[in-house]
Amino acid sequence: MPFSKLDRGNIFYETSGKLNHKINLPIVILKPLSRGPIGIQPFIDVLAYTFFVINYDQRGLGKSEPSLTPGPVPMSERANEVVELLDGLSIKSVHLLCHSTGCGIGLSMVKKFPERVESLTLVSPWTHADHYLNTMQNLRVSAAKGLNSIDYFRFNISLLYPPSYRKQHERGFRKMELEAKSNKVDYKVVSDGLTPILEFNSKDILPTIKCPTLISYSRDDQLMPFWFGQYMAKNIKGAVEYVFDEGGHMLLETCRNRLGLEITNFIKIQSNLRKRK
Protein backbone atom coordinates (compact mmCIF):
# COMPACT_ATOMS: atom_id res chain seq x y z
CA MET A 1 0.00 0.00 0.00
CA PRO A 2 1.37 3.46 -0.86
CA PHE A 3 2.33 5.58 2.13
CA SER A 4 4.16 8.86 2.03
CA LYS A 5 6.58 8.49 4.94
CA LEU A 6 6.65 11.86 6.68
CA ASP A 7 8.14 13.12 9.93
CA ARG A 8 4.80 14.13 11.43
CA GLY A 9 3.01 10.90 10.51
CA ASN A 10 2.67 8.83 7.38
CA ILE A 11 -0.12 9.64 4.92
CA PHE A 12 -1.88 6.98 2.89
CA TYR A 13 -2.60 7.87 -0.73
CA GLU A 14 -3.81 6.24 -3.91
CA THR A 15 -3.27 7.29 -7.51
CA SER A 16 -5.35 6.92 -10.67
CA GLY A 17 -4.43 7.73 -14.25
CA LYS A 18 -0.98 8.04 -15.80
CA LEU A 19 1.78 10.59 -15.46
CA ASN A 20 2.60 10.66 -19.16
CA HIS A 21 -0.45 12.67 -20.14
CA LYS A 22 0.10 15.92 -22.04
CA ILE A 23 -1.35 17.77 -19.08
CA ASN A 24 1.38 16.88 -16.62
CA LEU A 25 0.26 18.53 -13.38
CA PRO A 26 -1.70 16.15 -11.14
CA ILE A 27 -5.01 16.69 -9.40
CA VAL A 28 -5.14 16.32 -5.63
CA ILE A 29 -8.67 15.57 -4.49
CA LEU A 30 -9.75 16.75 -1.03
CA LYS A 31 -12.57 14.26 -0.82
CA PRO A 32 -15.74 13.99 1.27
CA LEU A 33 -15.64 11.78 4.36
CA SER A 34 -19.20 10.51 3.87
CA ARG A 35 -19.99 7.89 1.25
CA GLY A 36 -23.03 6.57 -0.56
CA PRO A 37 -23.40 3.16 -2.20
CA ILE A 38 -21.53 4.28 -5.33
CA GLY A 39 -18.65 6.14 -3.64
CA ILE A 40 -16.31 8.55 -5.40
CA GLN A 41 -14.12 6.16 -7.39
CA PRO A 42 -16.33 6.41 -10.51
CA PHE A 43 -15.92 10.20 -10.33
CA ILE A 44 -12.15 9.82 -9.97
CA ASP A 45 -12.19 7.48 -12.98
CA VAL A 46 -13.73 10.24 -15.11
CA LEU A 47 -10.88 12.57 -14.16
CA ALA A 48 -8.23 9.86 -14.49
CA TYR A 49 -9.09 9.41 -18.17
CA THR A 50 -7.21 12.69 -18.70
CA PHE A 51 -5.30 13.43 -15.50
CA PHE A 52 -3.11 11.84 -12.87
CA VAL A 53 -5.23 11.96 -9.69
CA ILE A 54 -3.95 11.71 -6.12
CA ASN A 55 -6.52 10.68 -3.52
CA TYR A 56 -5.29 10.65 0.09
CA ASP A 57 -6.58 10.11 3.63
CA GLN A 58 -6.27 12.97 6.11
CA ARG A 59 -4.26 12.18 9.21
CA GLY A 60 -6.39 10.47 11.82
CA LEU A 61 -8.83 9.26 9.15
CA GLY A 62 -8.86 6.21 6.93
CA LYS A 63 -5.47 4.50 6.70
CA SER A 64 -3.27 7.51 7.51
CA GLU A 65 -1.53 7.77 10.87
CA PRO A 66 -3.12 9.86 13.66
CA SER A 67 -2.69 13.60 13.70
CA LEU A 68 -0.27 15.12 16.19
CA THR A 69 -3.01 17.60 17.06
CA PRO A 70 -5.62 16.04 19.39
CA GLY A 71 -9.25 17.00 18.95
CA PRO A 72 -10.47 19.29 16.17
CA VAL A 73 -7.82 19.92 13.48
CA PRO A 74 -7.91 23.46 12.01
CA MET A 75 -8.17 23.93 8.25
CA SER A 76 -4.73 25.55 8.20
CA GLU A 77 -3.18 22.41 9.70
CA ARG A 78 -4.94 20.25 7.14
CA ALA A 79 -3.44 22.51 4.45
CA ASN A 80 0.00 21.81 5.92
CA GLU A 81 -0.72 18.09 5.49
CA VAL A 82 -1.33 18.56 1.77
CA VAL A 83 1.96 20.40 1.35
CA GLU A 84 3.81 17.74 3.34
CA LEU A 85 2.34 15.10 1.04
CA LEU A 86 3.35 17.04 -2.07
CA ASP A 87 6.87 17.53 -0.73
CA GLY A 88 7.09 13.83 0.07
CA LEU A 89 6.09 13.02 -3.52
CA SER A 90 8.40 15.72 -4.97
CA ILE A 91 5.48 17.56 -6.57
CA LYS A 92 5.81 21.31 -6.95
CA SER A 93 2.23 22.34 -7.75
CA VAL A 94 -1.16 20.75 -8.41
CA HIS A 95 -4.73 21.32 -9.42
CA LEU A 96 -6.73 21.24 -6.17
CA LEU A 97 -10.18 19.68 -6.30
CA CYS A 98 -12.06 20.32 -3.06
CA HIS A 99 -15.43 19.11 -1.81
CA SER A 100 -17.30 20.45 1.24
CA THR A 101 -14.87 20.40 4.19
CA GLY A 102 -12.09 20.09 1.62
CA CYS A 103 -12.98 23.56 0.37
CA GLY A 104 -11.80 25.04 3.65
CA ILE A 105 -8.56 23.07 3.36
CA GLY A 106 -8.09 24.21 -0.23
CA LEU A 107 -8.77 27.85 0.58
CA SER A 108 -6.34 27.68 3.51
CA MET A 109 -3.75 26.23 1.17
CA VAL A 110 -4.27 29.04 -1.36
CA LYS A 111 -3.80 31.54 1.46
CA LYS A 112 -0.64 29.96 2.87
CA PHE A 113 0.94 28.37 -0.20
CA PRO A 114 -0.47 30.06 -3.34
CA GLU A 115 2.52 28.98 -5.44
CA ARG A 116 1.56 25.31 -4.94
CA VAL A 117 -1.96 25.70 -6.41
CA GLU A 118 -2.26 25.79 -10.19
CA SER A 119 -6.07 25.85 -10.18
CA LEU A 120 -8.80 25.53 -7.59
CA THR A 121 -12.13 23.72 -7.86
CA LEU A 122 -14.61 24.22 -5.02
CA VAL A 123 -17.58 21.83 -4.93
CA SER A 124 -20.45 22.28 -2.44
CA PRO A 125 -18.52 24.99 -0.56
CA TRP A 126 -19.28 27.32 2.32
CA THR A 127 -17.88 30.74 3.20
CA HIS A 128 -18.45 31.00 6.95
CA ALA A 129 -20.69 29.71 9.70
CA ASP A 130 -23.86 31.75 9.26
CA HIS A 131 -26.93 31.05 11.38
CA TYR A 132 -28.18 28.37 9.01
CA LEU A 133 -24.91 26.42 8.88
CA ASN A 134 -24.44 26.67 12.65
CA THR A 135 -27.92 25.27 13.17
CA MET A 136 -27.46 22.39 10.74
CA GLN A 137 -24.04 21.31 11.95
CA ASN A 138 -25.01 21.47 15.61
CA LEU A 139 -28.13 19.47 14.75
CA ARG A 140 -25.84 16.75 13.34
CA VAL A 141 -23.94 16.62 16.64
CA SER A 142 -27.20 16.41 18.61
CA ALA A 143 -28.39 13.63 16.31
CA ALA A 144 -25.12 11.75 16.88
CA LYS A 145 -25.72 12.00 20.63
CA GLY A 146 -29.35 10.98 20.63
CA LEU A 147 -29.91 8.53 17.77
CA ASN A 148 -28.89 4.92 17.35
CA SER A 149 -26.46 4.06 14.56
CA ILE A 150 -29.04 3.23 11.90
CA ASP A 151 -31.21 6.28 12.59
CA TYR A 152 -28.16 8.54 12.56
CA PHE A 153 -27.15 7.07 9.22
CA ARG A 154 -30.64 7.69 7.85
CA PHE A 155 -30.64 11.23 9.19
CA ASN A 156 -27.25 12.00 7.68
CA ILE A 157 -28.00 10.70 4.21
CA SER A 158 -31.28 12.66 4.18
CA LEU A 159 -29.14 15.82 4.46
CA LEU A 160 -26.51 14.74 1.95
CA TYR A 161 -28.48 13.13 -0.89
CA PRO A 162 -31.66 14.25 -2.70
CA PRO A 163 -34.74 12.00 -2.55
CA SER A 164 -34.51 10.98 -6.21
CA TYR A 165 -30.95 9.65 -5.74
CA ARG A 166 -31.88 7.81 -2.55
CA LYS A 167 -34.79 6.20 -4.40
CA GLN A 168 -32.59 5.27 -7.37
CA HIS A 169 -30.04 3.57 -5.09
CA GLU A 170 -32.48 2.35 -2.43
CA ARG A 171 -31.00 -1.17 -2.34
CA GLY A 172 -27.47 0.17 -1.84
CA PHE A 173 -28.50 2.50 0.95
CA ARG A 174 -30.37 -0.32 2.72
CA LYS A 175 -27.22 -2.42 2.61
CA MET A 176 -25.30 0.47 4.14
CA GLU A 177 -27.92 0.73 6.89
CA LEU A 178 -27.21 -2.86 7.92
CA GLU A 179 -23.48 -2.14 7.97
CA ALA A 180 -24.08 0.99 10.07
CA LYS A 181 -25.83 -1.08 12.73
CA SER A 182 -22.51 -2.46 13.96
CA ASN A 183 -20.72 0.90 13.90
CA LYS A 184 -21.36 2.88 17.07
CA VAL A 185 -21.55 6.64 16.44
CA ASP A 186 -19.15 8.67 18.58
CA TYR A 187 -20.63 12.16 18.82
CA LYS A 188 -17.24 13.51 19.95
CA VAL A 189 -15.69 12.40 16.66
CA VAL A 190 -18.60 14.02 14.79
CA SER A 191 -18.18 17.23 16.80
CA ASP A 192 -14.40 17.30 16.28
CA GLY A 193 -14.95 16.99 12.55
CA LEU A 194 -17.54 19.77 12.37
CA THR A 195 -15.90 22.29 14.72
CA PRO A 196 -13.20 23.37 12.21
CA ILE A 197 -15.94 24.05 9.66
CA LEU A 198 -17.78 26.36 12.04
CA GLU A 199 -14.55 28.13 13.04
CA PHE A 200 -13.41 28.77 9.47
CA ASN A 201 -14.18 32.01 7.61
CA SER A 202 -13.01 32.45 4.02
CA LYS A 203 -14.45 35.90 3.27
CA ASP A 204 -11.07 37.65 3.56
CA ILE A 205 -9.38 34.98 1.43
CA LEU A 206 -11.72 35.09 -1.56
CA PRO A 207 -10.67 38.50 -3.00
CA THR A 208 -6.98 37.50 -2.81
CA ILE A 209 -7.30 34.34 -4.94
CA LYS A 210 -5.37 34.68 -8.19
CA CYS A 211 -5.39 31.14 -9.55
CA PRO A 212 -8.15 29.99 -11.95
CA THR A 213 -11.16 28.91 -9.88
CA LEU A 214 -14.23 26.80 -10.64
CA ILE A 215 -17.16 26.83 -8.23
CA SER A 216 -19.88 24.18 -8.44
CA TYR A 217 -22.90 23.64 -6.24
CA SER A 218 -26.49 22.46 -6.35
CA ARG A 219 -29.55 24.57 -5.68
CA ASP A 220 -31.04 21.79 -3.52
CA ASP A 221 -28.06 21.34 -1.19
CA GLN A 222 -29.54 21.26 2.32
CA LEU A 223 -26.24 21.23 4.20
CA MET A 224 -24.22 23.99 2.53
CA PRO A 225 -26.84 25.92 0.56
CA PHE A 226 -26.45 27.60 -2.81
CA TRP A 227 -25.92 31.10 -1.40
CA PHE A 228 -22.40 30.19 -0.30
CA GLY A 229 -21.40 29.25 -3.83
CA GLN A 230 -23.07 32.35 -5.23
CA TYR A 231 -21.14 34.57 -2.83
CA MET A 232 -17.85 32.92 -3.77
CA ALA A 233 -18.53 33.32 -7.48
CA LYS A 234 -19.09 37.05 -6.98
CA ASN A 235 -16.04 37.58 -4.79
CA ILE A 236 -13.34 35.52 -6.55
CA LYS A 237 -12.07 37.40 -9.57
CA GLY A 238 -12.70 35.53 -12.81
CA ALA A 239 -14.34 32.54 -11.11
CA VAL A 240 -16.28 30.12 -13.30
CA GLU A 241 -19.63 28.97 -11.90
CA TYR A 242 -21.28 25.63 -12.70
CA VAL A 243 -24.66 25.10 -11.04
CA PHE A 244 -26.85 21.99 -10.72
CA ASP A 245 -30.58 22.23 -10.10
CA GLU A 246 -30.58 18.84 -8.37
CA GLY A 247 -27.82 16.76 -6.82
CA GLY A 248 -27.78 17.65 -3.15
CA HIS A 249 -24.52 17.99 -1.26
CA MET A 250 -22.69 14.95 -2.60
CA LEU A 251 -22.19 16.05 -6.20
CA LEU A 252 -19.09 13.88 -6.67
CA GLU A 253 -21.49 10.92 -6.53
CA THR A 254 -24.86 12.20 -7.64
CA CYS A 255 -23.63 14.14 -10.68
CA ARG A 256 -20.26 12.46 -11.18
CA ASN A 257 -20.15 12.33 -14.99
CA ARG A 258 -21.35 15.87 -15.70
CA LEU A 259 -19.22 17.34 -12.94
CA GLY A 260 -16.15 15.30 -13.88
CA LEU A 261 -16.34 16.41 -17.51
CA GLU A 262 -16.87 20.05 -16.52
CA ILE A 263 -13.80 19.97 -14.26
CA THR A 264 -11.77 18.22 -16.97
CA ASN A 265 -12.66 20.90 -19.54
CA PHE A 266 -11.99 23.69 -17.06
CA ILE A 267 -8.49 22.43 -16.23
CA LYS A 268 -7.70 21.74 -19.89
CA ILE A 269 -8.58 25.30 -20.83
CA GLN A 270 -6.55 26.77 -17.97
CA SER A 271 -3.58 24.52 -18.75
CA ASN A 272 -3.61 25.59 -22.41
CA LEU A 273 -3.73 29.25 -21.39
CA ARG A 274 -0.78 28.72 -19.04
CA LYS A 275 1.31 27.10 -21.79
CA ARG A 276 0.73 30.07 -24.12
CA LYS A 277 2.11 32.55 -21.61
List pLDDT tens digits, range 36-65. Answer: 999 999 999 999 999 999 999 888 887 878
pTM metric for this prediction = 0.94
Can you tell me whether residue 112 is helix, strand or coil? helix
Say if residue 22's pLDDT is above 70: no
Can you tell me whether residue 223 is helix, strand or coil? coil
Parallel/antiparallel/unpaired status of strands 94-99 and 53-56: unpaired
**Contacts of 29 by beta carbon, 8 Å cutoff, 6+ apart:** 40, 44, 47, 53, 54, 55, 97, 99, 102
Distance CA(251)–CA(221), nearest Å, equals: 9
Distance CA(170)–CA(80), nearest Å, equals: 39
Give the closest residue to 212 by CA, choosing from 114, 104, 127, 124: 114
Q: Specify the pLDDT at position 7.
A: 67
- 88-144 pLDDT tens trace: 999 999 999 999 999 999 999 999 999 999 999 999 999 999 999 999 999 999 999
Q: How is the chain split into domains, by residue range?
A: 3-130+201-276
Q: Does domain 3-130+201-276 have CATH number 3.40.50.300?
A: no
Average pLDDT score over the chain: 91
Confidence of residue 276 (pLDDT cuts 50, 70, 90): low
